[in-house]
């Protein structure tokens, strides 16, 4: 990999002050990675360069037809001061799958991992120290062929940037959700399983509708029967049935329209390790309402790389409003959240070999 060090990299004191501010996506590290692909020559050698704007012809394909994919992953500070990535191979695999769906070139997993490790090593000083904080890493790829003809691109650019992420979890606040029966996120045969910007562009109007209903987030249901729960905004959903050691932790089944979250997958293992039964199910809006009113569903939470685990409280839909629990995060929700964070920060055994040391 070619390396060009940023001559204007922030002083350690300035950088540490920015990292200490917390927040998310406000500041970016001193460097980024860029790697070009052409149909003719394949992938070029990646380059680590100073973070900064890129210049593109206004007729570049991505601006017109949205041929773009991305990933979201994190690097965590370890007790000995080192840094480790959480399941980066899973992000590499998913990135290649998303690429295939969007007719973009599949980046070899080893190349993807090399770019991530190089950037994290170079900008290690930007990885926060406290539990719950991390360096959020955003790999993405855009179609860079110039021209307005609609066709799969013969040129693509991969970019990698990173931003410190503070601990923005507020345990006193459960997320309220609007179950959208008007808009859908994904249909069979569509791009629901791919992590592409277009899915998000199409979701924003529903997010607006949720806000208008006084809700924080939108919950998506299936496109065909308009009754099966899929996911929440950019996160997967979990439901806890029962209480204590007999509880079952369930999540909507991957039907081909849900985004297969790496946090979702990890929780299936982590919940089992904590002694709970787990299941992947078809869960309808009625099941949600009836489960909450009978008391069978005791806790609900959403999960994803950015927030790890977020408790869900009030659900509102065209069919009414119902509330889970007492508005406080559930016991099992917090137990699972703490277990994942302990693995990520290296304070408990990593029995599934999820952590990959960078330093």
Ligand X SMILES: *Cc1c(COP(=O)(O)O)cnc(C)c1O
Contact residues toward ligand X (CB under 6 A) are 72, 195, 231, 234-236, 259, 261-264, 304-305
Measured from the CB of residue 228, what is the shortest distance to ligand X in angstroms?
Answer: 16
Q: Which is nearer to ligand X, 27 or 200 (CB)?
A: 200
Q: Which is nearer to ligand X, 48 or 184 (CB)?
A: 184
Q: Which is nearer to ligand X, 251 or 324 (CB)?
A: 251
Measured from the CB of residue 97, what is the shortest distance to ligand X in angstroms?
Answer: 12
Measured from the CB of residue 161, what is the shortest distance to ligand X in angstroms?
Answer: 16
Measured from the CB of residue 231, what is the shortest distance to ligand X in angstroms?
Answer: 5
Q: Which is nearer to ligand X, 145 or 193 (CB)?
A: 193
Measured from the CB of residue 68, what is the shortest distance to ligand X in angstroms?
Answer: 13
Measured from the CB of residue 71, what is the shortest distance to ligand X in angstroms?
Answer: 8
Measured from the CB of residue 200, what is the shortest distance to ligand X in angstroms?
Answer: 7
- Considering just the CA atoms, what is the radius of gyration of the chain in Å? 21
Q: Which is nearer to ligand X, 195 or 289 (CB)?
A: 195
Q: Which is nearer to ligand X, 122 or 305 (CB)?
A: 305
The DSSP secondary-structure symbol of 287 reads H
| Among 160, 125, 201, 198, residue whose Cα is nearest residue 54 | 160
Q: Which is nearer to ligand X, 134 or 263 (CB)?
A: 263
Helix, strand, coil percent content, the chain, rounded in steps of 5 = 30, 30, 40
- Print the SS3 string covering 185-200: CCCCCCCCCCCCHHHH
Report the C-alpha gap between 116 and 214 in whole angstroms: 39
Helix residue ranges, H only, the chain: 12-20, 61-65, 88-101, 109-122, 197-212, 262-273, 285-294, 331-344
Measured from the CB of residue 93, what is the shortest distance to ligand X in angstroms?
Answer: 11
Report the C-alpha gap between 284 and 268 in whole angstroms: 20
Q: Please provide the distance, in angstroms rounded to a whole number, between the alpha carbons at the two ends of the chain.
A: 18
Q: Which is nearer to ligand X, 69 or 127 (CB)?
A: 69
Angle (nearest 5°) at CA 15 between 12 and 21: 140
Give the DSSP letter string of 43-61. Answer: E---EEEE-------TTBH
Report the C-alpha gap between 203 and 205 in whole angstroms: 6
Could you give the C-alpha distances from 343 to 62, 290, 336, 348, in angstroms and in order? 38, 35, 11, 5
| Among 68, 104, 67, 75, residue whose Cα is nearest residue 91 | 75
The DSSP secondary-structure symbol of 10 reads P
């Amino acid at each position: 990999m070619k390396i060009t060090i940023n001559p204007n990299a922030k002083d350690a004191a300035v950088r540490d002050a920015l990292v200490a501010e917390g927040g998310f996506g406000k500041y970016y590290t001193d460097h980024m990675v860029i790697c070009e692909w052409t149909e003719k020559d394949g992938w070029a050698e990646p380059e680590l360069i100073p973070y900064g704007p890129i210049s593109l012809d206004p007729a570049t394909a991505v601006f017109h037809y949205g041929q773009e994919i991305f990933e979201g992953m994190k690097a965590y500070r370890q007790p000995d001061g080192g840094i480790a990535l959480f399941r980066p191979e899973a992000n590499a695999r998913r990135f290649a799958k998303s690429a295939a769906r969007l007719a973009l070139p599949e980046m070899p997993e080893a190349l993807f991992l090399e770019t991530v490790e190089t950037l994290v090593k170079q900008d290690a000083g930007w990885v926060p120290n406290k539990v719950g904080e991390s360096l959020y890493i955003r790999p993405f790829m855009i179609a860079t062929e110039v021209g307005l003809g609609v066709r799969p691109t013969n040129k693509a650019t991969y970019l990698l940037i990173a931003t410190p992420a503070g601990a923005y979890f507020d345990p006193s606040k459960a997320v309220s959700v609007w179950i959208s029966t008007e808009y859908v996120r994904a249909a069979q045969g569509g791009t629901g399983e791919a992590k592409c910007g277009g899915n998000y562009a199409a979701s924003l109007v529903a997010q607006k509708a949720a806000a208008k209903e006084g809700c924080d987030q939108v919950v998506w249901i299936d496109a065909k029967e308009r009754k099966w729960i899929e996911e929440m905004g950019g996160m997967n959903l979990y439901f806890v049935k029962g209480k204590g050691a007999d509880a079952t932790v369930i999540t909507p089944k991957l039907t081909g329209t849900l985004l297969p979250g790496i946090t979702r997958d990890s929780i299936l293992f982590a919940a089992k390790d904590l002694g709970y039964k787990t299941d992947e199910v078809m869960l309808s809006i009625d099941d949600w309402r009836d489960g909450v009113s009978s008391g069978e569903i005791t806790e609900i939470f959403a999960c994803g790389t950015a927030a790890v685990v977020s408790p869900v409280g009030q659900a509102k839909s065209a069919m009414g409003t119902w509330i889970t629990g007492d508005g406080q995060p559930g016991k099992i929700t917090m137990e699972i959240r703490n277990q994942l964070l302990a693995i990520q920060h290296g304070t408990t055994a990593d029995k599934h070999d999820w952590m990959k040391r960078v330093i």
